[in-house]
């Protein structure tokens, strides 16, 4: 009997954590933190409802915060095992955890100094020291090779697109295969190879982020050209909140190639994401994992201003020239983009270009939904800036691409569990799978445990 407890990403997009136990042996698949809605974020502060010291391994599908951001908290709860993932996933996870820890520390310090937190004192979710401690437990694994974890328990990681290092993984327990999709990438991606497909799944745990819709056909280049021209004409700022991994590098490449082809003018471009800049070094190290030619990687970095210090963030804000600023975080849940917003959100010559998924409860979703006031660092700001959305730059497969990903599975899975999606997305994908394949599909709830034979 295999018991699986859904500790996150159940009827929500964030907080991916799945506890898998057989007998007295236990692992976790992913270890992410919740983002977005307050009631979800509050879950981050509660101890997990499982025996953490009994977890022998944490198996990572990829390095995004909603899949790895809870790792330092595991140590506080007694985790003594190992964290396994591909080499680029672990490299990205190190960058993300360090950056996240610094942000947690800075925000706690700012909240205490300015007195806008309800907690006295406000504490960081975890510290840099705690992040460094969990990294000592990292072990890299190769692609497509079974790793024995325990008696009759093995695991294998397979390339899945999405971001650098991302995989789906197969847990083989007692001869049955439990497939965890992680986040599934898109075909014909500018940066990455097409995702590979599973051939067999007795039980499938599948993301459903865009399960109810397809990505629109958008002319990304022409949109960027138009926005750059309008920004120059209005002497304003084009702000692009961006995820530091994959999306930021994709934007840099697109903007560089447009400039190279004389399709956008020489408008100053600032990349203000220390984490994203660090991720560029991972792209340089793991060239076999992506498609960016080395010459383009170097040229686009030379062409743009890579902002490092927070002092340079303020210099960029004070720069009177029309400009493009790409900064983290992608859902406006933290990072330096918030500082830019405090100075530009109430200006009509600011354009905010949203280029990724915006989870419920995040500032990005509120802007997308047309809210007129946004709260940042304890203060309310009127939204005078124009908000534009480009969905087609998403690193997540859409409904049709998710259904295609299932197409090479040769057997009929006993059960398909849809995870990592909001209610409408899960229900949409459930209907699509039942109609196209006739498989049994379940939408698990947060903290639910299923027992499988």
Note the pLDDT tens digit of each residue in 233-244: 999 999 999 988
- One fold for both 2-213+396-452 and 220-389? no
Q: 355-406, pLDDT tens digit by residue?
A: 988 988 899 999 999 999 999 988 999 999 999 999 888 899 999 999 999 9
Task: Give mean pLDDT, residues 139-153.
Answer: 97
Q: CB burial class (10 A; 0-12, 13-18, 19+) of residue 127?
A: middle
Tokens of 102: 């610094």
> Residue 312 and residue 319: Cα distance in Å, rounded?
10
How would residue 333 be classed by pLDDT, with cut points 50, 70 and 90?
confident
Q: What is the pTM of this model?
A: 0.91
Q: 260-318, pLDDT tens digit by residue?
A: 999 998 999 999 988 888 999 999 999 999 999 999 999 999 999 999 898 999 999 99
Q: Name the nearest CA neighbour of 147 among 158, 131, 160.
A: 158
Q: Name the nearest CA neighbour of 343 among 227, 234, 270, 236.
A: 236
> Residue 72 and residue 346: Cα distance in Å, rounded?
37
Q: Identify which has the larger pLDDT, 113 or 225.
A: 225
Domain boundaries, the chain: 2-213+396-452, 220-389
Q: Which CATH number fits domain 220-389: 3.30.565.10, 3.40.50.1100, 3.40.50.880, 3.40.50.10890?
A: 3.40.50.10890
Annotation: CATH topology of 2-213+396-452:
Metallo-beta-lactamase; Chain A (3.60.15)
pLDDT at 120 over 80: no
């Amino acid at each position: 009997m295999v018991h699986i407890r859904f500790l996150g990403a159940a009827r929500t997009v964030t907080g991916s954590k799945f506890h898998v136990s057989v007998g007295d042996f236990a692992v976790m698949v992913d270890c992410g933190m919740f983002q977005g809605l307050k009631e979800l974020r509050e879950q981050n502060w509660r101890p997990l409802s499982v025996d953490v010291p009994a977890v022998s391994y944490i198996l990572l599908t990829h390095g995004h915060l909603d899949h790895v951001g809870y790792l330092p908290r595991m140590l506080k709860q007694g985790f003594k095992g190992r964290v396994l993932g591909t080499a680029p996933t672990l490299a990205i996870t190190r960058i993300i955890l360090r950056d996240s820890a610094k942000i947690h520390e800075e925000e706690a310090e700012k909240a205490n100094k300015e007195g806008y937190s309800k907690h006295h004192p406000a504490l960081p979710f975890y510290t840099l020291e705690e992040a460094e401690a969990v990294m000592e437990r990292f072990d890299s694994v190769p692609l497509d090779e079974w790793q024995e974890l325990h008696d009759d328990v093995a695991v294998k990681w397979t390339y899945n697109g999405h971001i650098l290092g991302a995989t789906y993984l197969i847990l083989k327990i007692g001869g049955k295969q439990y497939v965890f999709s992680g986040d599934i990438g898109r075909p014909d991606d500018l940066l990455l190879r097409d995702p590979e497909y599973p051939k067999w799944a007795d039980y499938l745990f599948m993301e459903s982020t865009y399960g109810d819709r397809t990505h629109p056909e958008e002319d990304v280049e022409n949109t960027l050209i138009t926005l750059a021209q309008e920004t120059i004409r209005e002497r304003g700022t084009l702000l692009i909140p961006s995820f530091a991994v994959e999306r930021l590098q994709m934007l840099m490449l697109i903007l560089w190639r447009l400039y190279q082809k004389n399709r956008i003018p020489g408008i100053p471009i600032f990349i203000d994401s220390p984490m994203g800049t660090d991720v560029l070094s991972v792209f340089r190290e793991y060239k076999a994992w992506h498609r960016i030619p080395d010459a383009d990687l170097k040229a686009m970095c030379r062409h743009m201003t890579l902002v490092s210090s927070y002092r340079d963030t303020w210099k960029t804000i004070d720069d009177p020239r029309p400009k493009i600023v790409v900064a983290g975080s992608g859902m406006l849940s933290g990072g330096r983009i918030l500082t830019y917003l405090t100075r530009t959100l109430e200006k009509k010559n600011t354009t905010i270009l949203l280029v990724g998924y915006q989870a419920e409860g995040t500032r990005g979703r509120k802007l997308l939904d047309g809210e007129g006031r946004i709260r940042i660092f304890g203060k309310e700001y009127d939204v005078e800036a124009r908000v534009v959305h480009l969905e087609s730059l998403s690193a997540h497969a859409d409904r049709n691409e998710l259904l295609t990903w299932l197409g090479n599975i040769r057997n009929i899975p006993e059960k398909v569990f849809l995870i990592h999606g909001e209610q409408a997305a899960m229900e949409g994908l459930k209907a699509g799978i039942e109609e196209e394949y006739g498989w049994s599909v379940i939408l698990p709830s947060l903290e639910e445990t299923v027992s499988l034979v």
